[in-house]
Structures are given as C-alpha cells and as structure tokens.
Amino acid sequence: MAYALQQLINGLTLGAMYGLIAIGYTMVYGIIGMINFAHGDIFMVSAFIAVTAFTILAAADVTSIPLALTFVLIVSIFFTSAYGWAVERTAYRPLRGSTRLAPLISAIGMSIFLQNSVQLTQGARVKPIPPVLEGGIVLWDAPGFTVQIGWSQMLIIVTTVILMTAFTWMITQTPFGRQQRACEQDRTMASLLGVNVDRTISFTFMLGAALAAVAGVMVTVYYGVVDFFIGFLAGIKAFTAAVLGGIGSLPGAMLGGLLIGLIESFWAAYLWAEYKDVATFGILCLVLMLRPSGLLGRPEVEKV
C-alpha cells in the first residue's frame, strides 16, 4: 500500500512533465495539422539553457533557492520560446501550403539538427548540476517503507497545476485564445475576419516551447542531469500522451500525460523496470488501433 502510494506520487510527477510537453504537440497539431517532431528537442534545449543558467547562478554565488528557480525559469522560457519561434519560421512556414509530408520531414530534420548542434557545442557527456532542491516531507512512515514526497516533486506538481489553470484560462478567455481557437477551426475564415494567422501560429509555437521550457527546468531540478539525447524519448512519450488523450485536445494532452506517467511508474515498480518504455509504446499502438481519436478527442467526421 505504502509502496503503491509512493508510485502514485512518482507517476504524477512524471506525468505532469509529459503533460507539459504534450500540450506543445497537441496545440501545434490543432492549428496546422502537423506533428512537430522537433518539439522533444526544444524541450532538451530548454534543459540545457536551465543548466547554463544554474551554472551562472552558482558562479554568481546566488544561494536563495526561490530566487534561483525564478531566474532559471524566466531565462529558460525566454530563450526556448525564441527557439520555438525560430524553428517555425525557418523550418515550417516556408513549407506551408505544400504537401502534408513536407513539414513532417522538415521537423525530423530540425530534430536531428538540434540534437547534433547541442552535442557539438555542449559535448556528448551527461551534464550534472549540483542538487537544487533536496529532501522532502515524509507522508507516511509505514513499517518497512517510507512514503516521501520530495520538494522537487511538489514543485513540479504545483507548477503544473498553476500553469494548466492559467493556460486554460488564456485559451478560453483572452483575445489570443479566441484567435488561436478560430485559426484551429478555420484558418482561412479567421484570416478573412482580420486575424493575422501567421502571427497566431508563431505564438502557438512559442507558447508550446514555453511550456516545454518549464518541463525542461523541472527535469533538470528533478534528475540533476541532462544530455543531448533526452529530448528524443521524452518527446516520443509526450507525443504518445497527446495521442492517448486525443491529439488536438488540450485537456486530453494533460490527461494523457498523467496516464502515461502513472502507467510507466507502476509498470516499472511492479512488472519489469527495464521494459517500461515498451509499456508506453504498447499503449501508443493500442490507442492507434482501437481508438485513434484518443480518450477526449472527437472522431474526425468526413465533411461532404
């Protein structure tokens, strides 16, 4: 029981991070109908930016943890959004209006480019940072097993909840959110009503990158190490989460993320830890076969 509770906490932490990344996939799919395969690498870049920012702070002798985290978050969000913008501008916008396959291939190219450029500039070795948030609260001191929620886990879960609330509000209530939804439903018509579609798409990419940046900072704080390849697996798992929740659906991405995180934790705890990735991708296959529109997605209706 205590063990299960611990897995629940671990799973939620993991799931929150997948959810944050999955939103970037789902939003971009919603608005331009393509899978941005470079999104996982945007996340990886953000983790490196976080490492750099932490290193700078350490050099500057900043010891206040809240201050350091705020600084790192802001820096990482800022630069990662710039990456998101640049990727869309250079790799996807010139291909808009061509076949569906073209931007997809461009995305894969962009993914390889980001991975290799980080490998070249930052080195192929794992980069550690000194532990930022250690310890936690003991929730339950059961015989033989102690259930503990780490400060970093709490940080991740609380930040994710706040971000999701803010994000949902932004999409449903603000002029930008309305534009975003309008472009998602009918880009041509939105443009004919005066919505600047290109700018809305750019902003969507930046927003997705910003959420991935938060996930990147959290991963850095949680695991304490990054390398140039983390974007690949995290990206594919977040993509699975987006598909499981129903691609194009924002609450779906969050739900999918949580489910994937939980399944992975429990699978690793009770079955075979070394096969946890198999579980995730098994789910991807099952969802695609049995319910391609995902849990919260609506099936595409062919319009005649």
* Interface positions with another protein (CB under 8 A): 170, 174-176, 178-179, 181-182, 185-186, 188-197
Question: In angstroms, what is the minimal distance from the CB of 203 to another protein?
Answer: 9
d(CA 158, CA 97): 40
**CB closer to another protein, 63 vs 188:** 188
**CB closer to another protein, 64 vs 174:** 174
Question: In angstroms, what is the minimal distance from the CB of 140 to another protein?
Answer: 40
Question: In angstroms, what is the minimal distance from the CB of 180 to another protein?
Answer: 10
β-sheet bridge partners, residue 142: 145
Question: In angstroms, what is the minimal distance from the CB of 179 to another protein?
Answer: 6
Region of residue 33 (left: phi > 0; alpha: psi -120 to 50; beta: else): left
**CB closer to another protein, 89 vs 178:** 178
Question: In angstroms, what is the minimal distance from the CB of 25 to another protein?
Answer: 20
**CB closer to another protein, 90 vs 173:** 173
**CB closer to another protein, 161 vs 189:** 189
22 with 253: CB under 8 angstroms?
yes
**CB closer to another protein, 124 vs 170:** 170
224 with 28: CB under 8 angstroms?
no
At which residue do the structure tokens 């400060």 appear?
A: 151
**CB closer to another protein, 99 vs 188:** 188
Question: In angstroms, what is the minimal distance from the CB of 183 to another protein?
Answer: 9
Question: In angstroms, what is the minimal distance from the CB of 186 to another protein?
Answer: 5
**CB closer to another protein, 131 vs 299:** 299
Residue 195 CA, chain-centre distance (Å), reads 27
Question: In angstroms, what is the minimal distance from the CB of 303 to another protein?
Answer: 9
